Amino acid sequence: MSLWVDKYRPKTLDDLHYHHGLSARLKSLAASGDFPHMLFYGPSGAGKKTRITCTLRELFGPGVERLKIDQRVFLSPSKRKLEVNIVQSNFHIEITPSEAGNYDRIVVQELLKEIAQTQQVDLNAKQRFKVVIINEADSLSRDAQAALRRTMEKYMANMRIILCANSTSKLIAPIKSRCLLMRVAAPSPEEMQTALRHVAAKEGFDLVDSAADKIVEDSGGNLRKAILVLEALKMQSPDLSGPLTIAKPDWETYCHKVAELIVQEQSPARVLDVRAKFYELLSHCIPPTVILKTVAERVVENVDESLKADIMHWAAIYEVRMRQGNKKIYHLEAWVVKVMSLYKHFFYDIDMSGFD
């Protein structure tokens, strides 16, 4: 039994409930016979992968839905084995090179070269090229991006590359210049409600306005999360009536506790406590940018109005530094120290003003 988010995922561009202009553009590109390399970018849950899948169906027909999952093994220069999962059909292949960590360049070079040097074997295929989908493209190392750039130039005749990323800020300019950029923005609240009501109708129940509003508000533009929450609430309360309680994920609750620790006390000992909690979150694979965003938003809720702009300003600065550096914990900790310093100075200024 599949989850609703997979069960009711649109299969064609005509089935999509929002960004109709983007769907029409993708449809015309698929029919033009001159399909370019593409870069889909936008926030999580906006529907990037769904749109990519629908575009592939438009290019090749329903054959792209017959998938198989393989595990490929690559060897690093030190003979270390790298295992990478690959999803593929006769017409395309989907990879996430960032699974290989610092060795993602090897995966990109070897796999793309192998695909690019083979001709399309399906004589009934509408196109003579294969498509390679690269997930989490913004997590690729600079070396992997440089290798990808060379491959894009060399093997254009046999292969098209579709990159999927949350942001373009970490992609090198030569990659972006060789792709047609497709921004998939988060759906509006009205569009999310339309999609939720479509799922509810398919399941044979009416979604009341109060429940739809609460789900949309909690999801923050993430349609995947909204549909998952709808299914969870439906299992808890079949009629979706009365006050609904949407459970927060454990990592989010933990981030909120970290924010409270920062506001309660500003001392070296407290910095060490917060560092330990950051390590705990990072060890559970919570992205450092998500940690910083969640903690910063919670801190801002609990401080004076005059501090809010400065706290978010420094969060933005340390997020950029985090993207450029290697040790994420240093930048998280530096932001905490900065916030504590701002908080201390704020109360010191209040105390001193009392003596004037």
Place of tokens 């997020």: 319
21-47 pLDDT, tens digit per residue, is 999 999 998 888 788 889 999 988 888
Instruction: Say what the pLDDT of residue 5 is.
Output: 86
Q: How confident is the model at residue 355 (pLDDT cuts 50, 70, 90)?
A: very low
Residues 6 or more apart from 346 whose CB is under 8 A from it?
Answer: 304, 306, 307
Question: What span, in angstroms and rounded, lies between the C-alpha atoms of 137 and 43?
Answer: 13
Whole-angstrom distance, CA of residue 207 vs CA of residue 209: 7
Of 51, 66, 67, which is closest to residue 13 (Cα–Cα)? 51
Report for 2-6, 115-119, 307-311: range of highest mean pLDDT: 307-311
Q: Please give the helix or strand (H or E) that residue 295 lies within, else none.
A: helix 288-301
Contact 285, 339 (CB under 8 A): no
Determine the pLDDT at residue 124: 56
Which of 87-96, 243-252, 339-348 shows the highest mean pLDDT? 87-96
User: Average pLDDT of the chain?
Assistant: 85
Contact 238, 209 (CB under 8 A): no
Q: Are 63 and 42 in contact (CB under 8 A)?
A: no
Establish how many alpha carbons lie within 13 A of residue 218's alpha carbon, considering only the half-sphere containing its beta carbon. 21
C-alpha 263: how far from chain center: 29
* Per-residue tokens: 61: 């027909």
Q: Please give the Cα distance from 158 to 291 (Å, whole number).
A: 41
What local confidence, expressed as pLDDT, does residue 220 receive? 83
Its pTM stands at 0.79
Residue 241 is predicted with a pLDDT of: 67
* pLDDT interval class at 350 (50, 70, 90): low
What's the full length of the chain, in residues?
356
H and E: helices and strands count for the chain = 14, 7
Q: What is the pLDDT of residues 62-106, one digit of tens each?
A: 888 888 888 888 877 788 888 888 888 888 889 888 877 778 888
pLDDT for 349 beyond 90: no
Q: What is the mean pLDDT of residues 117-131?
A: 67
Reported as a single tens digit per residue, the pLDDT across 184-214 is: 999 998 999 999 889 888 888 888 888 888 8
Model confidence at 2, pLDDT cuts 50, 70, 90, reads confident
Residue 163, pLDDT score: 93
Q: In terms of Cα–Cα distance, which of 1, 165, 133 is closest to 59?
A: 133
- Write the pLDDT tens digit of every residue in 267-306: 999 999 999 999 999 888 888 888 999 999 999 988 888 8
Which of the two residues, 236 and 348, has the higher pLDDT score? 236
pLDDT-wise least confident of 47-56, 95-104, 229-238, 342-351: 342-351
Among the ranges given (49-58, 81-90, 251-260), the one the predictor scored with the smallest mean pLDDT: 81-90
pLDDT of residue 234: 83
Reading the block at residue 327, the tokens are: 């040790």
Q: How many CB atoms lie within 10 A of CB 223?
A: 23
Q: Which pLDDT does position 256 carry in this prediction?
A: 92
- Top pLDDT among 264 and 355 is at 264
- What is the tens place of the pLDDT at every residue in 128-183? 788 899 998 888 888 888 888 888 877 777 888 999 998 888 888 989 998 899 99
Give the DSSP per-residue string, 78-107: T--EEEEEEEE-SSEEEE-GGGGGGGHHHH
The domains of the chain, with CATH numbers, are 4-183 (3.40.50.300), 189-236 (no CATH), 250-348 (1.20.272.10)
